[in-house]
Structure 1
Amino acid sequence: MDATNRAKAAKLFAEKWKGKGYEKGESQLFWVDLLKNVYGVDNPTDFMECEVQVMLEHTSFIDVYLPSTKVMIEQKSIGKDLSKPIKQSDGTMLTPMQQLKRYAAALGYYKYPRWGITCNFEEFYIYDMANPNCEPEILKLADLPKEYNRLNFLVDTTHDNIKKELEVSLNAGTLVGKMYEYLYAQYGDEPTDKMLKSLNMLIVRLVFCMYAEDSGIFGRKDMFMDYLNDFRPQHFRKALIDLFEILDTPVDERDPYEEKRLLEFPYVNGGLFSDESLIIPQFNQECVDLIIKEACTFNWAEISPTIFGAVFESTIASQARRAGGMHYTSVENIHKVIDPLFLNDLKAEYEKILEVPQPKKRDNQLKMFQDKLASLTFFDPACGSGNFLTETYISLRRLENQVIEKLLGQEMVLGDLANPVKVSIQQFYGIEINDYACVVAKTALWIAELQMMQETQALVHMNLDFLPLKSYANIVEGNALRMDWNDVVPKERLSYIMGNPPFVGYSLQSKEQKEDMLNVYKDEKGKPYKKAGKIDYVAGWYFKAAEYIATSSLPLEGKVPEGRMRCKKAAFVSTNSITQGEQVADVWKPLYNRFGIHIDFAHRTFRWNSESNNKAAVHCVIIGFSNGGSRKEKPLYSGELVTYVENINPYLVGAPTAFIESRKEPLCDVPKMSTGNRPADGGHLIIDGKDYADFIKKEPKAQKFIKRFIGSHEFINNGERYCLWLVNASPEELSKMPLVLKRIEDCRNDRLASTDKGRQKLADTPSLFRETKNPLHFIAIPEVSSENRRYIPMDFLDSNTIISNKLQMIENGELFHFGILQSNVHMAWVRAVCGRLKSDYDYSQKIVYNNFPWPNPTKSQKAKIEQTAQGILDARKKHPDSSFASLYKEVLMPPELRKAHQANDRAVMEAYRFDWHTMKESECVAELMKMYQSLVEQQ
């Protein structure tokens, strides 16, 4: 079903169900109708499970579960408020979403839902179950005709053809790796750089020949394999040299007396076979058998050039790939970049043209649209194996094929009319530092071009020439951060920049990479920015792109007048660290202030997946930006859900643009926060929980000098750990405790052995931690905690507990401060601005706490917060054996603790003058950032 017909079906569905809906009698009818008539599921009853039984304290039933897409649905009658608690059969009060979470936990890991929906026949509340703190996306039934795509996840499973392409391409990559290993051995024990480059090109040539044979481009089936079969290993090298020379020679320039079996091969061109200085080794029987019996018999025609480019490149050593920060991008993730960057708009433009009723006018517009497709230029300044460029080319050509089919499809007959294809790989440019990846990228584009030509030929029943290759992919080898991008593609000719630059954290950068960053991140006077050496490597591409597009101003619509520049747009996949914590201001402030960029769309943090066998375990964001006219509503994606906002700031929040910079003192009049104590002792002053009893037994006099010692992990998980706190211990007392004295001596030796002069100096006080903070009472906050908790657990501690530097402390903190910090308002701020370790919260004093805008409550509001804060503490006391990890796990949180937090949330929101009935978290963050800006301006 195409977009037009689906919109019509959605309209009919919305009209049919308007004002209807009874939970018990019509839920199944509603979902069967939706799945069948709007989303094209032939047999909805086979696709869905209804009244799925789950065992809680009693037997309960899930209304609808879609196992293939892992969607769980809780249906309510029309008129029910989906945001309010409803009394359950066991007497508890739960919102529909809380019901979903209980059911989800009962289903177990393998059936745990990816998506949750609560519905009352008038509204769909959509939840990303992978992010329990995420606000629901709300879709109204009345808006379904224009927003039906927001429910595509109901049926959007990976198509079998895509699965097959992936499997074939991964197998092909494995085969390439094997060929690489076998041939590498033929170059001797210490191959030169030239030999290794030759090996790379040899592999590429062999793969191209096998693809061309299997796809019918060479002419007849098994042509390449039959040729190679005639040669023994000792003649195999010469056979390949002769063949490569023929493939690079035009037919009319060949020796007419050359062997017939060579003359049968077509002229390829494109530069793939032009380097005659290629070093080709001798082949042993094992290599020959691998190429003929395994590689040639594999069906290369079924590979996806986009996927294959990545797995092809996986023959590079994993160590080198990691050092370069290279991470392969899946087809799915490529579309997260190119769809909102340009492809969605192009598809919408095409659909709009099809709605033109007059055939002649429609055809003229289709021709102009095809010319537009052929005029666009694309640039990936970190192109790797070319999968961004390849997938973009394929997507553009498939759109062009739709145009060609509409213009010519039914009228064409077999013949030799003019080639109707206008989109070319000449429109695609790239920079890549690795020579092998450059070759792979070019080859992937050539294969994509040949595949798409075959699709066009089948579509319009035309005979098209596949060879010789007439196009050239403009892939340049070099360091993108050291090059002038105008030398690759002049900015006046460019349409879009995109890609997946290297991921290397600032602490892991090589000397050369650090120099790259200092060379790029310079101010107007050419001096490196103060924090240029403290930001991630990927930021260099953002700076270069922003600088490159800075002078562009003309919207990209139709032809560009001579001498005028296009409005260029860019989008990159990046590590999420550049949108979190202290890096945000350092990375983005120069881009906003100097180059006037703004963010057009963004995908918030998602876990990376790729098509290579060596998948990168990183958390990423995607950011699209430009400096020209911006759309009024900007899409902000969280998983598959999207909201449209007026502004996306560099924290990827729909809020005003603000830069939360490191601050030594709190912005508001509140107690200071500091970190705990760093032992710097080599572990010698620490006593593990399991060793505590034995130590006291052997050294009973030490007991009065032992205190509980905790960091984030022990704090959250009730872990047992102790330390020797010898602040007030006299030399006489220490001398009577031999085990303690031994530990002190070991600590001193450890410090003396350090290469750090500061640590060496601590050897003068070997019985003490580096810091000796031990206040009478304080609020403790873990530095690192799971993002899956709605609240970061905090607590009051006293002088009997020593905290490590993995906990923050607010000395003399009061109930009021505790209540604010444990509120949903403060957590909204945390989620927006804090740094992350992978995806976990990394709470910092200088970014999160010191910049947090506190409310100015009335006396009664402050008293109310103190009361609700105490309520949280009282609710916890009812479960003395439970750790914070258990208490704050979403599906395990005791009802009284949840209610206490909800009461505290309401009290805090009232102190901020926020409407807790209606305010969303994104709106809360927007207001907090306005408050922050105002407070900064007042200083």
Structure 2
Amino acid sequence: MNAVEIEQAITDLAEQPFDPAQFPYAFLEAFGNKATTIKRLRAGASNKSDLGGVLQTSNIHILTCDAGQVTQTLAALKASPATVKAKAKFILATDGADFEAEELSSGETVACAFKDFPDHFGFFLPLAGISTVRQISENAFDIRATSRLNRLYVELLKDNPEWGTAQRRHDMNHFMARLIFCFFAEDTDIFIGKGRFTETVAQMSAKDSSNTHDVIGTLFLAMNTQKEDRPTAGVPRWAEDFPYVNGQLFSGSIEAPRFSRIARSYLLHVGGLDWTRINPDIFGSMIQAVAEDEERGELGMHYTSVPNILKVLNPLFLDDLRAKLAEAGDNARMLLNLRKRMAKIRVFDPACGSGNFLVIAYKEMRAIEAELNRRRGEPDRASDIPLTNFRGIELRDFPAEIARLALVIAEYQCDVLYRGQKLALAEFLPLRNENWITCGNALRLDWLSICPPTGVGVKVQADDLFGSPLDQAEIDFENEGGETYICGNPPYLGSRDQKDEQKADLRLLFDKRVGNWKSLDYVAGWLMKATDYCTNTRSIAAFVTTNSICQGLQVPVLWPAIFTSGCQIEFAHTSFRWANLASHNAGVTVAIVGITTQPRSPRRLFSLDRSGNTIERQGSHINAYLALGESVIVEKAGQPLSEISEMTFGNTPIDGGLLLLSRDERDALQLTPAQQRRFVRRIVGSAEFIRGLERYCLWIEDQHLTEAHTIAPLAQRICGVRDLRLNGGKTARDIAGRAHQFQRMFIGKNATLVVPSVSSESREYLPCGYEPAGTVVSNLAFALYDAPLWNMALIASRLHLVWIATVCGKLETRYRYSNTLGWNTFPVPILTEKNKADLTRCAEDILLAREHHFPATIADLYDPDNMPADLRAAHDRNDEVLERIYIGRRFRNDTERLEKLFELYTRMTAEAAKRPSLQASPRKRGEGAGSRSRKNAADNTGQRELTAK
């Protein structure tokens, strides 16, 4: 369940007759508990309450009580030993009239009438696994309003299906935008008399709803007609008191969809909410989902927290403005100069959605300006910051409308807050006609025309502010010398998720600039457009992006093009979760990157520590991997940069599955024990190694081929492999004469160190380990044959995981390993014999700890929630020993680890470039030193893959 669905369920519960016996179970069900969970609680199997209530372990203790006993009951719940033992997060007491609850960790409480407890549903969102922020708890209204509007929207489409077609969808969305404005206006004195719009609809429309659409259309007509023109326009007397709004919000057709009784009821219910509590920076991103069919199933999941937005805006320009305000003190001249500067600042979001970033930027700037005016003794001064300086591009029309509406509401709220209700009202209506949010494809439009390097004005007024996009070429500016700050959260879309038109967008941007652009995430297009913009203007651009564009194979594709244009990274925030309001949704892992051609000093790099607190580091440069240090691009290397063992790609069958065997298939061959020892070996890839799966293969040496042909089942398989290879690609045809063997035949004499090629990102360490002599490693893993044990200590370290995650990147969300890009480039200081001995002991301790928990698999042992203490301690000791070799102490965090690794990599590659023997051309991935074939085994025809998790 998401937050909106939970709010609806809670509201429905509050409206039902209070049943003290059933309430606790209904409450838990409203927060997404499954029927089986409720059944177990009812039966007492999982109910731990010692007071006759309902206690769900690690969640909540609920107790209903007699009238007037709520406070005493809450105290009893708090004192209950069972509450403590079960580690309850919340306690809740109610008698059906009053309602009290407490979050035990923070001590925060809720006390209200029972009928009002849905207003506090945000307080309880952690019960549904939603990690919320304080702002949601304090602004639960926005979710409630979204829920009501969604019900109204869906109900209207039932009775007006034609309004849901592509031809009329814009009309429907425009109608909803008008309603939202009216609800806000009637509760904030923009319309004289609180609730005036809703009350008028209730009074003038029939209870059977037959004329509701006519009443609303008439009100829309009044709001689009000036007072002196109303008699001619036919505005009736009962609508005369509504103000002239114009601003093109009510221009054009005044038609409204027809209302059923249910839809009319929903409309009155929505209007009955307190719209003074609307928070446009939250509300906009949620309401846009109401009008999007593909998003309505995820309603309420699009909330972007203000703290996350400020991770972009603060270092982009707000920190600097606040610093200049502090520097100015009470100096009137300096304050005036700052105000003039702020009036020229443009904030441009070329993927603005419903305007979250623009609204937050506007509100923060108004707060700075208000303090500035207060210091100058001009608290009532009208704002010098025009809304038209907050520009955006949005692909879909409804979010673009909501963005404009959200900014209009934000402007009014700021005027009320800083100048007072009277002045705010006096200047609010009529709305201006400017259209400053462009509807279109940001990767196809000319950003310099939409947000030129000068000006704040608008030359041509729109015919329809809330609907028709203005021709971007007709926007005119007269404001030389201003700054432009580009920001936003563009669509991510990995290369596999892009549609043809999105691929075409990237082709236009990258086809003549870089090779292999098809591997780029869609968000890379915004960075490239921003790069072009920055090279022509005084501007800085900062986007929330997928962290993958700063990792792995995308780095050498994208970032050289950005850097060669003259742009540099001025600030960045390393990977963090950009969570939403979906239940148990961890969100996507993102990074923030700020680029400009004129970077300020020092460069600022933000990251999160283990406690989730933001820490800042400063330096002279930030590289493409978001580490402090000189610009460096890690390229594939054909041999190790450091003095470590060679790692090769595993053995590729190219067999159609005929050389691979399950246990049953092995037994079905009916080989003698001697034959089985000669012809069958255990094979491991990523899945087999991590999950402990049993798999075998035919491994036939040339000297045993004649005997193998005398065994019918083996001869049949060899013949099948030959036929398949002869009909395959060039690589397969080249080895058809060795149909009894894999493409390559590598095997360890004593032991093989196995490194899975793909593994889960949830593990704290990369899985690796030794397999005994005779074990074959498949092409789904990497191998170090007969390598010294201290190599495992390197691979199993936190240092190496951080390096792999950064330079190799990920496959979907899983770590993707590469020998040429990750292992061969891994910078290791020169190790003394004592260093190697210490690391060998660390590796032994890790292996012994694993053995202690036999037969647990790697997947079991490295489950982050269930990792054995002795194994964790062994890894921690390994990290300490290795990190002391690097810097003489433990690293403070991953950011510091990367800085050291890149520093060492830069120095070692520079030294290696001076040694001719190390300038060999890189080999293709999968080609080991002893390979029989120098060809890439890419056409692994018929290979049966198992996903390693």
The alignment's TM-score, normalised by the length of structure 2, stands at 0.69
Structure 2 counterpart of 1:542: 527
TM-superposed deviation, 1:436: 1.7
Name the CA distance, whole Å, in 1 between partners of 2:421 and 2:372.
Answer: 11
Structure 2 counterpart of 1:371: 340
**Contact in 2 for aligned 1:211/1:301 (Cα 8 Å):** yes
Amino acid at match of 2:401: V
Name the CA distance, whole Å, in 2 between partners of 1:722 and 1:762.
Answer: 24
TM-superposed deviation, 1:439: 1.2
Q: Which runs of 5+ in 1 are unaligned?
A: 1-66, 69-105, 112-156, 413-417, 553-565
1:586 partnered with 2:557: yes
TM-superposed deviation, 1:529: 1.3
**775-784 vs 829-838, which moves further:** 829-838
Post-superposition Cα deviations, 1:4-51, rounded to whole Å, max 9, x if no partner, equal: xxxxxxxxxxxxxxxxxxxxxxxxxxxxxxxxxxxxxxxxxxxxxxxx
Name the CA distance, whole Å, in 2 between partners of 1:735 and 1:317.
Answer: 67
| Shift in alpha-carbon separation, 1:405–1:319, aligned structure 2, 3 A | same
Name the CA distance, whole Å, in 2 between partners of 1:107 and 1:922.
Answer: 42
Structure 1 counterpart of 2:809: 835
1:315 partnered with 2:290: yes
1:512 partnered with 2:501: yes
How many pairs does the alignment contain?
A: 747
Corresponding residue to 2:244 among 257, 267, 286 = 267
1:297 partnered with 2:272: yes
TM-superposed deviation, 1:672: 3.9
Amino acid at match of 2:353: G
Match of 1:201, SS state, is helix
TM-superposed deviation, 1:440: 1.5
**Contact in 2 for aligned 1:419/1:464 (Cα 8 Å):** no
| Shift in alpha-carbon separation, 1:375–1:321, aligned structure 2, 3 A | farther
1:530 partnered with 2:515: yes
Corresponding residue to 2:779 among 799, 805, 812 = 805
Name the CA distance, whole Å, in 2 between partners of 1:472 and 1:189.
Answer: 30
Q: Where do 1:349-360 residues align within 5 Å?
A: 349-354=324-329, 356=330
Match of 2:183, SS state, is helix
Identical aligned residues as a percent: 30
Name the CA distance, whole Å, in 2 between partners of 1:158 and 1:572.
Answer: 23
Structure 2 counterpart of 1:620: 590
Structure 2 counterpart of 1:469: 431
Amino acid at match of 2:397: D
1:489 partnered with 2:451: yes
Name the CA distance, whole Å, in 2 between partners of 1:752 and 1:248.
Answer: 77
Structure 2 counterpart of 1:235: 211
Match of 1:491, SS state, is coil
**787-796 vs 167-176, which moves further:** 787-796
| Shift in alpha-carbon separation, 1:274–1:767, aligned structure 2, 3 A | farther
| Shift in alpha-carbon separation, 1:925–1:758, aligned structure 2, 3 A | closer
Structure 2 counterpart of 1:348: 323
| Shift in alpha-carbon separation, 1:880–1:666, aligned structure 2, 3 A | same
Q: Where do 1:66-465 residues align within 5 Å?
A: 162-165=136-139, 167-188=140-161, 192-229=165-202, 230-232=204-206, 233-255=209-231, 258-276=235-253, 280-292=256-268, 294-317=269-292, 319=294, 329-354=304-329, 356=330, 361=331, 363-407=332-376, 420-458=382-420, 464-465=426-427
Match of 1:570, SS state, is strand
Post-superposition Cα deviations, 1:513-570, rounded to whole Å, max 9, x if no partner, equal: 1111121125xxxx24112111111011111111111144xxxxxxxxxxxxx3x111
TM-superposed deviation, 1:512: 1.1
Name the CA distance, whole Å, in 2 between partners of 1:296 and 1:317.
Answer: 22
TM-superposed deviation, 1:384: 0.9
TM-superposed deviation, 1:201: 1.0
Name the CA distance, whole Å, in 1 between partners of 2:87 and 2:636.
Answer: 40
Name the CA distance, whole Å, in 2 between partners of 1:682 and 1:840.
Answer: 26
| Shift in alpha-carbon separation, 1:707–1:338, aligned structure 2, 3 A | same
**Contact in 1 for aligned 2:891/2:897 (Cα 8 Å):** no
**Contact in 1 for aligned 2:162/2:168 (Cα 8 Å):** no
| Shift in alpha-carbon separation, 1:767–1:298, aligned structure 2, 3 A | farther
Name the CA distance, whole Å, in 2 between partners of 1:847 and 1:304.
Answer: 47
Match of 2:403, SS state, is helix
Match of 2:623, SS state, is coil
Q: Where do 1:676-695 residues align within 5 Å?
A: 676-677=650-651, 692=663
Structure 2 counterpart of 1:778: 752
| Shift in alpha-carbon separation, 1:107–1:789, aligned structure 2, 3 A | farther
**Contact in 2 for aligned 1:204/1:439 (Cα 8 Å):** yes
TM-superposed deviation, 1:382: 0.6
Name the CA distance, whole Å, in 1 between partners of 2:907 and 2:85.
Answer: 43
Match of 1:503, SS state, is coil
**Contact in 2 for aligned 1:886/1:893 (Cα 8 Å):** no
Post-superposition Cα deviations, 1:109-138, rounded to whole Å, max 9, x if no partner, equal: 988xxxxxxxxxxxxxxxxxxxxxxxxxxx
**448-457 vs 373-382, which moves further:** 448-457
TM-superposed deviation, 1:614: 11
Name the CA distance, whole Å, in 2 between partners of 1:616 and 1:313.
Answer: 22
**Contact in 1 for aligned 2:491/2:523 (Cα 8 Å):** yes
Amino acid at match of 1:169: D
TM-superposed deviation, 1:397: 1.8
| Shift in alpha-carbon separation, 1:695–1:929, aligned structure 2, 3 A | closer
| Shift in alpha-carbon separation, 1:533–1:699, aligned structure 2, 3 A | same
Post-superposition Cα deviations, 1:327-373, rounded to whole Å, max 9, x if no partner, equal: 6533221111112212222223333444x4xxxx3x45444433333
Name the CA distance, whole Å, in 2 between partners of 1:107 and 1:591.
Answer: 56
Q: Where do 1:684-763 residues align within 5 Å?
A: 692=663, 696=667, 704=677, 706-717=680-691, 719-725=692-698, 727=700
Name the CA distance, whole Å, in 2 between partners of 1:750 and 1:224.
Answer: 75
Name the CA distance, whole Å, in 1 between partners of 2:616 and 2:810.
Answer: 23
Match of 2:315, SS state, is helix
Superposition CA RMSD, Å: 4.3
Name the CA distance, whole Å, in 2 between partners of 1:803 and 1:764.
Answer: 22
**Contact in 1 for aligned 2:827/2:901 (Cα 8 Å):** no
Q: Where do 1:2-21 residues align within 5 Å?
A: none
Post-superposition Cα deviations, 1:147-202, rounded to whole Å, max 9, x if no partner, equal: xxxxxxxxxx988665231x221222222222222233344369542211111111
1:654 partnered with 2:623: no
Name the CA distance, whole Å, in 1 between partners of 2:289 and 2:316.
Answer: 28
Post-superposition Cα deviations, 1:823-865, rounded to whole Å, max 9, x if no partner, equal: 5654453354231356653222232113223444456655665
Name the CA distance, whole Å, in 1 between partners of 2:502 and 2:812.
Answer: 22
The alignment's TM-score, normalised by the length of structure 1, stands at 0.70
TM-superposed deviation, 1:240: 3.1
Structure 2 counterpart of 1:498: 487
Amino acid at match of 1:465: E
1:641 partnered with 2:610: no
TM-superposed deviation, 1:428: 0.4
**Contact in 2 for aligned 1:210/1:224 (Cα 8 Å):** yes
